[in-house]
Structure 1
Amino acid sequence: MTWPGKIVYVQLVVLFVLSTTIYVYLYSSITMQTFAIGEVMKGTINDIIKWRNEMGDWAQKSTKFVINTSFPDNMQNVDKPILERSISELYNNNESGKKLQINILPQRTLQKIGERSKCIECTPKVLLTLFTSWPTKAEKYTCHNNTLRNWAQLKPHIQPVLFTQETLLAEEATEKGWAVLPVRKAGRGVPILKYMYKDAMERYNSTFYAFSNGDILYSQSLIETLQTVLKSSQIPKGKPMMIIGRRTNVPDVTSAEAVSGDKVQKTAKVRGKIFTVWAEDYFITSANYPWKDIPEVVIGRRAYDNWLVSNARKQKHVTIDATDTLVALHQTTKAGNQEGFKADNPEYNHNLLRRMYRHLHYAAGLTSCADYYTRYRDNKRIQILKRTAPKVCSPF
């Protein structure tokens, strides 16, 4: 009776020893593997830190530049380039004769977009930084070429800026005295307005900043009107300001009619027709205008213009209708006077604003709703007067 008991006891001892041996083996193996993995991870982290430092040094030494040939929807994490060599210089050095691909790498770190960098204080202050953007279209070559020449003639009071990703267009603008900046952020391939303002305000030092449609020509009346606004005692000081106005439509403007500001003024008077109070083609704002708070509307599509003016009035900013003293000649081509309604995604801005706001009353943003307006006195001097807005301008 005792022999079977001893067998069971021996079996249990053997099983215990075997289990202990397996446990010790597995524990040792896992411990060694963990230690090895830890050492590998330490080496990897050290390599990453080393590569990061080497890449930072390489980027700072780099002198290459970048201009993409399309408008990506999101470039907000890309460092802002500084174009210190002209695009035309780089283009002329292209020995292959092929379409030039210019690569942009950040040369130095600027402050966050929307804040004024130190370098802006080193640049001469101008009256207005005037910027625009357009895609290359054969049927609008004469129109856009007229704009390039016309805006360049407004210097030194006005600094013209073109936002584009197209290398050849950037080169042409540079040759005509314009500054060129890349499009930082777009919606459905179209530049977003607020980022154009923020980038222009960071890069250039001026009293006013303005987006204008690329088919608008100006005369000396633009400079004279802005100078009057600055001197006016009628307008509250220190408040954000927006100046808008109606355009004058002129069909098939020739190069001869756009050769100078005087010609533009005469052409608008002789052949032009003032357009509706619903259309606003330029937005001149003061340097303290809060563009950071504006929704991400895009240019060239309907609804954003009236909303901008309505919002400015709602926020108690100063709004001025400069129609009677500021000539804005619209070069009407075959596309007509309602291009924003015919473009791709014409409802882009309206749909965006409708998702953000419960009620939209676009009529509150007509040019005739502005708090002030400009006009000529009998002696041809410009004056600014307070306006009583019509009933259609309320509520916001």
Structure 2
Amino acid sequence: MTSYKITFKCYLVIVTVVAFSFYCGFILSKDNRFQIAKYLPKFTQIRGILQKLDSLENYIKKQRFQVSGQFKDFSAKLSQFVLDRNTKPKEPMKTQEEPWRKSNKTGMILFTTWIDVAEKDIVHRNVFRTWRKWLPLIKPLFFYINASTGNRLKKEGWLVRPVPKTGCGDSNMPIMRDMFLDAVTNYKSVLYGYANGDITFDNGIQKAIDHLVESTVVQEKPVLILVRRTNVDFSNSPELDENSNITEMYNKGKAVMDGSSDGFFTNKLFPWEYVPNAVVGRIGIGMWLVSYARAMNVTVIDITKTVRAIHMTTKSGNLESNFKKNVRCNHVIYGQLNIVPSSWGCGHILCAVMEVIVDEHGKTVMIRKSPKNMEKKCSNCYMDLKKILP
């Protein structure tokens, strides 16, 4: 198409020069009728050339429109091909003769961390009582800063490890990347997940993980699995145990609708090694992580429709992270490395390309979202990763 434009411009320049030359000749000899008669045929020839150039220009425009349409169709087909390749299993989902939750296999190492605070004491006890009820499919792991807290949870049947690395200045908050890498190194599992120390789940998490660990997508591709919380008032400090009805509490709570995620589960293929020193317990990690995953061609899966996650809200409220020391330390890191996503909307949980649902037969299944149902904020996303990739 570029060669057409160059050729057309060359013709136009030549014709303009010739026409101008003839015109100048005509002016210089305007008193000479014989000269006028001599140049008239040349003007006729120029007119014919210009008509041909007009026809050529129209032809080029028509061809350009056709080629543009072909490229548009090709682009759409290429996008669909990439989406299929990264989300569609290569073979039908395997039928399980024996669910993982009825075996001794570990499907996920689910870990958390916290600093002991009197206000959160009941909430933390609720977490270490409820998380262990999904053993052995889901094994709870605690990364401790204080060894006495680690010893207490170890007696409760949890796995425990020291926090491998901290960041965010003198706040000394655990770095998410290093906790994931430490868990992968020290424990054999299909999935590894993090949730805050004031969040627990209903038994839907068992069914979702039981299904996911057998899926071809999880076994063969890097994945990021997300869940969104519902805020439930725990200011009166109700105690939970393995028989507590989480679903009932969930139904009385208030769902978070800002697009953020509150559980992050990945497999060993997830590119954690390139994630910067972002810490848990400070704002800005969730949506950045989802944006990063999408930029790295990771399959993002939403399990919110099958897993009820409740955030046990204490008197500090639902936005307590906004009032912590060095509250924006994660954002400072993103700015220094120039890895801020083109839009924070690109990190919304609604941008997940797949979701786990319960179908009309009551079976837990994973489906691929239709691109038509994706929000506009999920498109045209970009993140410059040159400074963190090798």
TM-score of the two chains, using structure 2 as the length reference? 0.66
Alpha-carbon shift at residue 359 of structure 1 (Å): 4.2
The residue aligned with 1:180 is 160
> What residue number does 1:327 align with?
308
Give how far 1:226 is off: 1.6
Aligned with residue 245 of structure 1, among 210, 227, 249 = 227
1:347 alignment counterpart:
328
| Residue equivalent to 1:52 | none
User: Number of residue pairs matched?
Assistant: 271
> Quick check: 1:163 aligned with 2:143?
yes
The answer (yes or no) to whether the contact 2:181–2:272 under 8 Å persists in 1 is: yes
Contact 2:191 2:213 in 1 (8 A): no
Alignment partner of 1:370 is 2:352: yes
Q: Does 1:274 align with 2:255?
A: yes
1:318 maps to a residue whose letter is T
In structure 1, the gaps of 5 or more residues are 1-123
**Aligned residue identity for 2:295:** K
Aligned position for 1:202 = 185
After superposition, the Cα gap between the structure-2 partners of 1:305 and 1:358, relative to the gap in structure 1 and judged at 3 Å, is closer
What SS does structure 1 have at the residue aligned with 2:245? helix
- State the Cα distance separating 1:277 from its structure 2 match: 4.0
1:310 aligns with 2:291: yes
- Could you tell me which residue of structure 1 aligns to residue 47 of structure 2? none
Aligned to 2:190, the other structure's residue is in SS state strand
The CA distance in 2 between the partners of 1:255 and 1:161, in whole Å, is 24
- Letter of the aligned partner of 1:163 in structure 2? F
1:147 matched to 2:127? The reply is yes
Does the 8 A contact of 2:143 with 2:162 survive in 1? yes
Shift of 1:327: 1.2
1:357 aligns with 2:344: no
- Whole-angstrom distance in 2 between the partners of 1:241 and 1:254: 38
Structure 2 distance, partners of 1:282, 1:261, is: 22
Give the whole-Å Cα distance in 1 for the aligned partners of 2:362 and 2:318. Answer: 30
Partner secondary structure for residue 126 of structure 1: coil
Pairing partner for 2:112 from 117, 122, 132: 132
Q: Measure how far apart 1:157 and its partner are.
A: 1.0
Superposition RMSD in Å: 1.9
Q: Mean alpha-carbon deviation: is it higher for 349-358 or for 143-152? A: 349-358
Give 1:249 shift. 1.0
Cα displacement (A) at 1:237: 5.0
Structure 1 distance, partners of 2:247, 2:340, is 40
What SS does the corresponding residue of 2:210 show, helix, strand or coil? helix
3-state SS in 1 of match to 2:261? coil
Whole-angstrom CA distance in 2 between matches of 1:351 and 1:222: 34
Q: Distance in 2 between matches of 1:371 and 1:326?
A: 17
1:392 is aligned, of 360, 372, 377, to 377
Residue identity matched to 2:134:
L
The structure with more helix, counted as a fraction of residues: 2
Q: In structure 2, do the counterparts of structure 1 residues 254 and 383 end up closer, same or farther at CA, with 3 Å as the change threshold?
A: farther
Amino acid paired to 2:161: L
Q: Secondary structure in 1 aligned to 2:290?
A: helix
Q: Distance in 1 between matches of 2:353 and 2:288?
A: 15
Q: Deviations over 1:339-364 (max 9, x none)?
A: 22121111000110111125432210
Distance 1:236 1:190 in 2: 30
| Alpha-carbon distance in structure 2 between the residues aligned to 1:344 and 1:333 | 19
Q: Deviations over 1:205-254 (max 9, x none)?
A: 11100111010112221121122223446x47511011002111110177
Counterpart of 2:274? 293
Q: Aligned residues: percent identity?
A: 31
The letter for the 2-side match of 1:248 is T
Work out whether residues 301 and 343 of structure 1, in 8 Å CA contact, stay in contact via their aligned partners in 2: yes
Shift of 1:169: 1.1
Matches within 5 A, 1:61-72: none
1:278 Cα deviation from its structure 2 partner: 2.6
Q: Which of 189, 200, 208 does residue 217 from structure 1 map onto?
A: 200
Q: Which residue of 1 aligns with 2:175?
A: 192
The alignment's TM-score, normalised by the length of structure 1, stands at 0.65
